[in-house]
Amino acid sequence: MPKVAYLGPAGTFTELAARQLGKDAELIPVASVTEAMDQVVSGKAERAVVPIENSIEGGVSATSDALAQMAGVQIYGEYLVPVKFDLMVRPGTKLSDIKEVLTHPVAYAQSRKWLQANVPGHTHIPAASTASAANSLATGKLADAVIAATGASKIYNLEILASDIGENKEAQTRFIEIGKAGKPQPKTGSDKTSVIVELPDDRPGGLLEMLEQFAARGVNLSRIESRPVGDRFGRYRFNIDAEGHLEDEAIAEALMGLHRFSPKVIFLGSYAKADKSSSEHQGNNTNTSYHAAKKWLDELRG
């Protein structure tokens, strides 16, 4: 029975993601991303499951930064959980009572059509996230309703007045499965490789140069998130998901290029993509092409 720490409390989407690790997993809710990762580093849990990205609100900075700062961990898998937006209120509030709707601007844009038809004359109050909106509604007197992901109703003790009111039915949150640093997962042909790359600060075109390390080997990026290094303005590191596996020569040569280029590059793992799409490199960037080139070089060198 492997132990899996996850960002709690119970009832959140993270728990749904953690359940995807298997029926026999023992789930341990914890209070923060770093605490979840600490459980893994200290050996109290085999795995940790934390959110990394939301298709509406963007990257989860706490996770991005923890991956950059905690040594000894690696990503072993990813899981997607669909996000349904519901209209929630404090218990007792009726649809006709709603004057102010609190939520993240993108979630509001997603729900505007439904609200115009069903809550005419309402006002939108923007919030930093749908979760903070739910928290504010539950604890304060701000607004009359929130648009938030279904799980928030249980956490903040809110009542759902209408379900799945968003236009984009494909909104989702992505979670990662973290374990102790070790050998990457075996290659499946549908893999991604995650790295964190700090830009050198002695030249202006650093980001361009970094991206060329991938482009020169035909490696596509499915995600790129900028984060400050934190010592002063203008210094960034990038959290990157690249298509392909460490066993792919295109990835290997790109990683070596990053190692030479960057003052600090962190390999976070190669693992199967949740969407199962192919990650094989094309054209002259296949392993076949790389191996033929290496053979030719070895012959030249004699």
289 lies in the binding site for its own copies (CB under 8 A): yes
Residue from the set 165, 257, 271, 279 that interacts with its own copies by CB under 8 A: 257
* Count, residues near its own copies per rule CB under 8 A: 79
Strands 191-198 and 73-82 turn out to be unpaired
Confirm if 55 and 130 have CB atoms less than 8 A apart.
no
List the interface residues with its own copies, window 78-107 (CB under 8 A). 105-106
Candidate segments 5-13, 16-24, 42-50, 217-225, binder of its own copies by CB under 8 A: 217-225
Q: In terms of CB distance, is 159 or 261 closer to its own copies?
A: 261
Confirm if 181 and 73 have CB atoms less than 8 A apart.
yes
Residue from the set 180, 215, 276, 277 that interacts with its own copies by CB under 8 A: 215
Residue from the set 2, 22, 72, 230 that interacts with its own copies by CB under 8 A: 230
| Beta carbon of residue 65, minimum distance to its own copies (angstroms, whole number) | 6
Residue from the set 216, 264, 276, 278 that interacts with its own copies by CB under 8 A: 216
Query: What is the distance of C-alpha 34 from the center of its chain?
Result: 15
Residue from the set 12, 172, 185, 279 that interacts with its own copies by CB under 8 A: 172
10 lies in the binding site for its own copies (CB under 8 A): no
Residue from the set 157, 220, 277, 278 that interacts with its own copies by CB under 8 A: 220
Q: Would you say how long the chain is, in residues?
A: 302
Candidate segments 40-48, 113-121, 145-153, 178-186, binder of its own copies by CB under 8 A: 178-186
| Beta carbon of residue 52, minimum distance to its own copies (angstroms, whole number) | 11
| Beta carbon of residue 176, minimum distance to its own copies (angstroms, whole number) | 13
Q: What spatial distance separates the first Cα and last Cα of the chain, rounded to whole Å?
A: 54
Confirm if 218 and 284 have CB atoms less than 8 A apart.
yes
Cα-atom radius of gyration of the chain, to the nearest Å? 22
| Beta carbon of residue 113, minimum distance to its own copies (angstroms, whole number) | 15
How far from 244 is each of 169, 219, 272, CA to CA, in Å? 28, 8, 9
List the interface residues with its own copies, window 109-138 (CB under 8 A). 109-110, 125-128
| Beta carbon of residue 302, minimum distance to its own copies (angstroms, whole number) | 4
List the interface residues with its own copies, window 184-213 (CB under 8 A). 184, 204-205, 207-208, 211-213
Candidate segments 16-24, 92-100, 154-162, 214-222, binder of its own copies by CB under 8 A: 214-222
Q: In terms of CB distance, is 22 or 72 closer to its own copies?
A: 72
296 lies in the binding site for its own copies (CB under 8 A): yes
Confirm if 181 and 72 have CB atoms less than 8 A apart.
yes
209 burial (CB, 10 Å; 0-12 / 13-18 / 19+) is middle
List the interface residues with its own copies, window 13-72 (CB under 8 A). 32-35, 53-59, 61-62, 65-66, 69
